[in-house]
Amino acid sequence: MLSRQKEMKKYLAVTRHKLDNESVETNTSESQNEVEKKIEKLFELFCSKAKCDPEVPIFYKQNHINYIKNHMFTLPENYECLDSSRPWLCYWLCQSLALLNCKLSVSEKSNVVSFLSKCQHETGGFCGGPNQMPHLAPTYAAVCALCLIGTEEAYAVINRENLYKFLISLRLPNGSFRMHKYGECDVRAVYCSATVARLTNIYTDSLFKSSAQWVIRCQTYEGGFGGVPGVEAHGGYTFCGFSALLLLKSIHMCDTKSLLRWVANKQMSFEGGFQGRTNKLVDGCYSFWQAAIFPIISELLESETQRPMWSMYDYQALQEYVLICCQNRYSGGLIDKPGKPPDVYHTCYVLSGLSIAQHAVDDSSCVIGKPENILNKNNPIYNIEESCLQKALQYFSMTEPISYF
């Protein structure tokens, strides 16, 4: 019989290394050890199954579809804390379904569209729910959700002229944006503004004058981006900052080399998933926020150097983390890390990251488990399923230019 370690070596994509605490235990290393222990058990269980079942790891696709559909219409009381994020709920669910190649019926689509139209504010932008005030985050979520639904009716909901006015109203003189009236200003706001402006074809240079200069100040000495200049590099903000620079056509300002080093080091040596910050714990949602950086970096380097590039992270180990550690096979839905309950946020971002990892190689030969595990291709800049995104971009490129003020 093979030793445990040998088995792990045989059935997992790559040799795993645990944290070496160098005989100095701190809070950080203690919590890391706990996570590694849980994950090691799951890896061992997986290896013992892999010996006799060539189909593992199984992707519980249908369970996840059921989970998403269950949450599409009604959510339990513990979702009250997301009462100001209801367009997000729509977006998370629509994106998950699109990646799973699961279509909504005509009436279901129409229902989502009619609800999102109720969330649009009369002065522009979308609100966290009907009768609330407009906010950039639900605006991003609503626009993306409408693009994912992809019907004429859905696109037509967006009042582009008012949306432009809303964006202008949040712009600060230094090029940064607030999330809402009196609201916080951080790199999410630039990303959300730039995304919806590009998607709906209302982008102007004046709207984003010196925004890139502000965003680049958020890149820290570590290489990732923080929420505002000075704060710690973080996976979510790094995605926003880096993608915003792309959308602002200013990617040349980014120190790509240090970003690549930082993000490559956020993949956990044992778990295979990503952490959000240096010396923090793995979390399934960073399977998207961090991994989405890689295809963009590879593409950038390819055009810079004129030679073929490959994916510079372990996309198979990432898939193994998702499939072995992040699925709730009973209720469906995906999770942060073993021991956590599923929720619609993690379901969306774990699936979004899984799709990125499965498409890391062009011929999709790198899908872990059965070939049918493959999800639809995701766009790493917008985080919208690729075919829906292309259709939406095509639609809005044909729209009339709005009159600017």
Partner 1 sequence: MESLIKHYNSLKQIIFGIFKRTVGQFILYKVSGAVFNMVDQNQEHKSDSPDLYDSADNFNYVLYRDRPEWKDVQPIAQDDGPARVVQIAYSTKFSDVYDYFRAVLKSGEKSLRALSLVTDAITLNPANYTVWIYRLEIVKHLKVDLNNELEYISNVIREFTKNYQVWQYRKTIVEMLNDPSGELEFTADILDMDSKNYHAWQYRQWVLTTFSELMQYELNFVDNLISQDMRNNSAWNQRYFVINNSDPDSDVINKELEYTFGKIRILSKNESAWNYLRGLLLYSENGVLEDKVRDFCSNLYNKGNRSVHLMSCLIDLTDADESTDPENVEKIKFALKLCFDLASDYDPIRRYYWAYISKDIELKFNFKEHDTKILLLHTMSSSALEKIPDVGIDDKGRYKYILIKVTDQNDSSNQSKYVVRGGQRFDFHGN
Hey, which residues between 114 and 143 contact partner 1 (CB under 8 A)? 114-115, 117-118, 127-133, 135
Per CB under 8 A, 77 contacts partner 1: yes
Detail the DSSP E strand segments found in 107-260. none
Per CB under 8 A, 267 contacts partner 1: yes
Residues 195-234 close enough to bind partner 1 by CB under 8 A = 220-223, 226-228, 230-234
Among this protein's residues, is 280 annotated catalytic? yes
Size of the site for partner 1 (CB under 8 A): 99
Cβ at position 249, least distance to partner 1 in Å: 25
Among this protein's residues, is 83 annotated catalytic? no
Of these residues, 11, 86, 283, 359, which one is catalytic?
A: 283
Per-residue contact flags (x/-) with partner 1 for residues 291 to 310, judged by CB under 8 A? --------------x---xx
Per CB under 8 A, 341 contacts partner 1: no
Among this protein's residues, is 363 annotated catalytic? no
By CB under 8 A, name the one of 48, 70, 84, 387 that touches partner 1. 84
What are 208's two structure tokens? 């984003």
Per CB under 8 A, 252 contacts partner 1: no
Cβ at position 205, least distance to partner 1 in Å: 29
Per CB under 8 A, 58 contacts partner 1: no
Of these residues, 217, 346, 348, 388, which one is catalytic?
A: 346
Residues 343-372 close enough to bind partner 1 by CB under 8 A = 361, 365-369
Among this protein's residues, is 283 annotated catalytic? yes
**Positive/negative CA dihedral, 128, 133, 137, 143:** positive
Per CB under 8 A, 378 contacts partner 1: no
Among this protein's residues, is 37 annotated catalytic? no
Cβ count near 49 (within 10 Å): 15
Comparing C-alpha atoms, which of 235, 227, 238 is closest to residue 284? 235
Give 115 or 396: the residue with its C-beta nearer to partner 1: 115
CA of 38: how far to CAs of 43, 271, 325, 339, in Å? 9, 10, 9, 9
Q: What distance lies between CA 31 and its chain's CA centroid?
A: 25
By CB under 8 A, name the one of 8, 90, 245, 293 that touches partner 1. 90
**Cα 71 from Cα 68, distance rounded (Å):** 5
Our CA dihedral for 13, 5, 24, 30, rounded to 10 degrees, sits at 70
Q: Who contacts 62 (Cβ-Cβ below 8 Å, separation ≥6)?
A: 332
Contact in structure between 197 and 184 (CB atoms under 8 Å):
no
What are 194's two structure tokens? 């730039």
Per CB under 8 A, 325 contacts partner 1: no
By CB under 8 A, name the one of 141, 144, 147, 179 that touches partner 1. 179
Among this protein's residues, is 285 annotated catalytic? yes
Report helix, strand or coil for 306: coil
Of these residues, 67, 336, 337, 349, which one is catalytic?
A: 336
Contact in structure between 278 and 285 (CB atoms under 8 Å):
no
Give 20 or 152: the residue with its C-beta nearer to partner 1: 20
Choices 197-205, 311-319, 329-337, 349-357; region in contact with partner 1 by CB under 8 A: 311-319
Of these residues, 343, 349, 388, 395, which one is catalytic?
A: 343
Inter-residue long-range contacts of 128-135, CB under 8 Å, 24+ positions, other chains counted: 128/83, 128/84, 128/85, 128/86, 128/87, 129/83, 129/84, 129/86, 132/84, 133/180, 133/181, 134/166, 134/180, 135/84, 135/179, 135/180, 135/183
Give 30 or 249: the residue with its C-beta nearer to partner 1: 30
What are 347's two structure tokens? 């379901």
- Hey, which residues are catalytic here? 234, 277, 280, 283, 285-286, 336, 343, 346
